[in-house]
Structure 1
């Protein structure tokens, strides 16, 4: 038995010795490929971890820009409702509405005021030539109308249907939204309806 084993081993040695260098390289490559294939098969057979999406947003996700809606009216090229980024100023709203008209009195409003959602930006018109700002002269040469943009509470209370509470509302509206551009804008003040507005139109000026 030992003699047969030695004979087989000797045959293998003789066969290996008879191989050329090219054949040995080819056999080595085949062995290497077999080993790589075995390793790859082992790696693929391993279970993969499962990633669970918990709905969280990554830190790099862009934040949605916040906006606000304002009403731009008065001496404006294109009055209307406009959406602007949060933190915008009155000047930004005027520019978005096409800019102020040639009759606009921009010095009478605060262009640097910060906007709030739902705000009305009222751009007043310049006073007529020959008339002082806020004054309307009657045929007798005396001022008989109340300027709702400059009148204090006592002056406003002289108007029919305007008591202390309503006078304060008019003043607060003026501070928040800027000067009135027309008598009809008084209808935007809480508590002044169509009937009261009609009674005031001939008694007030802008």
Structure 2
């Protein structure tokens, strides 16, 4: 949901800086790969250690920089199918690093008990479901349908995780981050179901139309 409303704002804010990068020879694909590598580096070196304030602050900067790739491609007329494919692939790696690092934090930093077990479980659920959310959309497009619906897009998941991590970093109980991960897991599951039902409806209508064709 947040992603749909934020694209216009990012375009207005970052088109000029993106064009400045183009003038010095930076390409959209180079930005995509660089942003992903920086995301992975920041995530694995800060989040497992519980350095949430530093980690989230750096990740915000990296995500802002990473948003330049699409803006740069559109502003310079260099959008491509491969660029979209690369961007989506790199996003999956970045998400895995972020949520995997939060699972590592739970495994390494929380005391043995129900909270630790629950946090690891919901964290792993988020890792899996985040990938399935992306897969359902890609698979829907491969069969000629659209599945862009859902209450938990990538930006929603990252914002909720970031808020939970910052809250714990500021002294909130550790279960706050567990609750944030649980919320993401539930939202992601609902999104998967929404997309499955949407594709089912579209395919059913298509089949009915084909059956009605003389």
Taking structure 2 as the reference length, the TM-score comes to: 0.23
Taking structure 1 as the reference length, the TM-score comes to: 0.24
Q: Return the structure number with greater relative CO, CA threshold 8 A, min gap 6.
A: 2
